[in-house]
Amino acid sequence: MARIAVTVDGTAREADVEPRTLLVHWLRDDLGLVGTPVGCDTSNCGSCTVMIDGRSAKSCSLLAVQADGTQITTIQGAANGEWHPVQVAFKDCHALQCGYCTPGMVVAAIDLLSENPDPSEAEIREGLRGNLCRCTGYHNIVKAVQQASELMKEAAK
Amino acid sequence: MIPATFDYVRPDSLADAVSALSGGGEDAKVLAGGQSLMPMLRIRLASPTLLVDCSRLAELRGISDDGDAIVIGASTPHHDVMHDPLVMAHAPLIARTTAMVADPAIRHRGTFGGSLAHADPAGDLPTVSLVLGAQMVLAGPNGRRTVAASDFFVDYFTTALEPDEILVSVRIPKLGAGWGYDYQKFHRTAQAWAIVGVAAAVRRENGTIAEARVGLTNMAASPGRAATTESALAGAAANVDAIAAAAAHAADGTNPTSDLHAKADFRQHLARVLTGRAVRVAAGV
């Protein structure tokens, strides 16, 4: 077992984990943070995307021990008292169908907008290339990211 | 799936990492970003007994200017590489190609050196390092040695690294003014590995192509150069017809694999088409 100390959604956590424990399994099974789903388990779909030290990462593709000492934000920490503008825009634009990819899409979109606050449609599609929607509802997802970009620019004024 | 059990250490220095690796025997493995290793662990294609986490070794991270070359630390994440001013100024082919690797989340964790040491035949950066004449610096129990990219990639997922050696950094010679670059990649989905990829670097002089380097991804077990195309381009006019004539030889002498993504003859077709496109962009035609 290895000792890790990680801040998850603002709460300091310490745990003993088996080195082979995947980060997503630690979040879900040990911490009960089941808002982060396991989608494909092959590093492709991006459903399990979380923020590690402010940058997106696929939590099925990391060991929990690799996250030692980091700050993690899951979809359950995305809202800060009120919904994040990306969450608002996903609701307003109906940017989900079955919803399984949504947590990862929202986190990936937050990451994209933190680096590029005013992305073109092509840049949005490129920025979300690691997130698959098997309902193929990409059109409204792109619209939602565009709306979130507007909301965040307004809020920053 | 859940990986098989293994031990895990995160040494504080390169020297400690080398001794952990050599003490761990043949089934010890270096963990950098883990973005290629983790899928192999999950499906138990790899079952190392010990993982030596080198991702936080300061001496393996960062990019520096070394006169006629830039030096990229092996554990530098792709995301840092593709936005680095030195890389953009002196090795823009690496920045362009890295932006085509996997997806943003993978690029935050995956590392430049990791993708080279992993040596997937479909990897983009091994080909680019070959075309740019990179030199790999390896550290082992007996000190350091330098291996040229042309000797580094040995076979499928196999490099010149001994089991107890760690890739420390990669020296990329700066190509001076007059060079143009491009990387072309054919794949079925945006984040997928290359079915075929082509890297081109071309130096123009007075409307002709003075020198050209063309590298092929996934046309063999290791990245290779399209030698016939390169010699046909040397001294050729920088125009569409001359480039098309040279690119027609891009698959000469290759014997690519057939798999569920593409048959061998389709891969050879792709190599010719992508070479034409990459050389045209690199030559500014």
Say if residues B23 and B45 touch (Cβ distance below 8 Å): no
Question: Do strands B28-31 and B50-53 pair parallel, antiparallel, or not at all (unpaired)?
Answer: parallel
Please check whether residues A69 and A103 belong to one and the same domain: no
The strand pairing partners of B179, in sequence order, are B203
C-alpha span between B39 and A105 (Å, rounded): 21
Reply yes or no on whether the pLDDT at B113 is more than 90. yes
C-alpha span between B70 and B85 (Å, rounded): 11
Q: Which residue is closest to A46 within chain B, CA to CA?
A: B105
Reply yes or no on whether the pLDDT at B218 is more than 90. yes
Reply yes or no on whether the pLDDT at B190 is more than 90. no
Main-chain phi, psi angles of A21, to 5 degrees? -65, 125
What count of Cα atoms within 13 Å lies in the side-chain half-sphere of residue B70? 22
Q: Would you state the pLDDT for residue A157? A: 87
Q: Which residue is closest to B100 within chain A, CA to CA?
A: A126
Q: Do B8 and A44 touch (CB under 8 A)?
A: no
CATH of the domain at A13: 3.10.20.30
Tell me which residue of A154, A71, A40 sits closest to B38, measured CA to CA: A40
Q: Name the 3-class secondary structure at A80.
A: strand
Q: Would you state the pLDDT for residue A111? A: 98
C-alpha span between B28 and A61 (Å, rounded): 19
What is the token pair recorded at B10? 């995160």
* Banded pLDDT at B1 (limits 50, 70, 90): confident
Q: Would you state the pLDDT for residue B270? A: 98
Please check whether residues A143 and A89 belong to one and the same domain: yes
Domain final residue pick, A14, A44, A77? A77
CATH of the domain at A118: 1.10.150.120
Reply yes or no on whether the pLDDT at B26 is more than 90. no
Q: Would you state the pLDDT for residue B25? A: 83
Q: What ranges in chain A are assigned the alpha helix state H?
A: 23-25, 85-92, 102-115, 121-127, 138-156
Domain final residue pick, A47, A77, A107? A77
What count of Cα atoms within 13 Å lies in the side-chain half-sphere of residue B276? 13
Say if residues A90 and A106 touch (Cβ distance below 8 Å): yes
Q: Do A66 and B42 touch (CB under 8 A)?
A: no
- Domain B58-173 class? alpha beta
Q: Which residue is closest to B32 within chain A, CA to CA?
A: A66
DSSP B237: B
Average pLDDT over residues B259-281: 97
- Domain B179-283 class? alpha beta
Reply yes or no on whether the pLDDT at B32 is more than 90. yes
pTM: 0.96
Reply yes or no on whether the pLDDT at B145 is more than 90. yes
Q: Do A20 and B2 touch (CB under 8 A)?
A: yes
**Which residues of B are less than 8 Å from A22 in CB distance?**
2-3, 38, 42
Please check whether residues A54 and A108 belong to one and the same domain: no
* B4, B53, B102 ranked by CB distance to A66: nearest: B53
Q: Would you state the pLDDT for residue B95? A: 98
Q: Do B38 and A62 touch (CB under 8 A)?
A: yes
Average pLDDT over residues B108-123: 98
Q: Would you state the pLDDT for residue B160? A: 98
* Banded pLDDT at B176 (limits 50, 70, 90): confident
- Asked if B104 has any chain A CB less than 8 Å from its own CB, the reply is yes
Q: Would you state the pLDDT for residue A102? A: 98
Helix (H) or strand (E) holding B201: strand B196-205
Domain final residue pick, A77, A105, A126? A77
The C-alpha of A122 sits at a distance from chain B's nearest C-alpha, in angstroms, of 12
Q: What ranges in A60-99 are assigned the alpha helix state H?
A: 85-92
For the segment B219-259, what is each residue's pLDDT rounded down to a tens digit? 999 999 999 999 999 999 999 999 999 999 999 999 999 99
Tell me which residue of A148, A7, A36 sits closest to A102, measured CA to CA: A36
Q: Do A66 and B31 touch (CB under 8 A)?
A: yes
Say if residues A19 and A63 touch (Cβ distance below 8 Å): yes
Q: Do A55 and B108 touch (CB under 8 A)?
A: yes
ipTM for the whole predicted complex goes beyond 0.95 = yes
Please check whether residues A28 and A93 belong to one and the same domain: no
Per-residue pLDDT for chain A (157 aa), expressed as one digit of tens each? Answer: 999 999 999 999 999 999 999 999 999 999 999 999 999 988 999 999 999 999 999 999 999 999 999 999 999 999 988 999 999 999 999 999 999 999 999 999 999 999 999 999 999 999 999 999 999 999 999 999 999 999 999 998 8
Please check whether residues A66 and A95 belong to one and the same domain: no
The parent domain of residue A134 ranges over 85-156
Say if residues B49 and B7 touch (Cβ distance below 8 Å): yes
What is the token pair recorded at B90? 């002196």
Average pLDDT over residues B187-214: 94
C-alpha span between B24 and B33 (Å, rounded): 20
Pick the CATH number of B7-53 from 3.30.565.10, 3.40.50.300, 3.30.43.10, 3.40.50.620: 3.30.43.10
**Which residues of B are less than 8 Å from A2 in CB distance?**
8
Please check whether residues A65 and A90 belong to one and the same domain: no
- Asked if B190 has any chain A CB less than 8 Å from its own CB, the reply is yes
Please check whether residues A49 and A99 belong to one and the same domain: no
What is the token pair recorded at B225? 């150069």
Q: Would you state the pLDDT for residue B265? A: 98
Q: Would you state the pLDDT for residue B246? A: 98
Cα four-point dihedral sign B31, B35, B41, B46: negative
What is the total count of domains within chain A?
2
Please check whether residues A98 and A120 belong to one and the same domain: yes
Nearest 5°: the CA angle A145, A151, A156 is 125
Q: How many CB atoms lie within 10 A of CB B143?
A: 8
> Per-domain residue ranges for chain B?
7-53, 58-173, 179-283
For the segment B59-74, what is each residue's pLDDT rounded down to a tens digit? 999 999 999 999 999 9
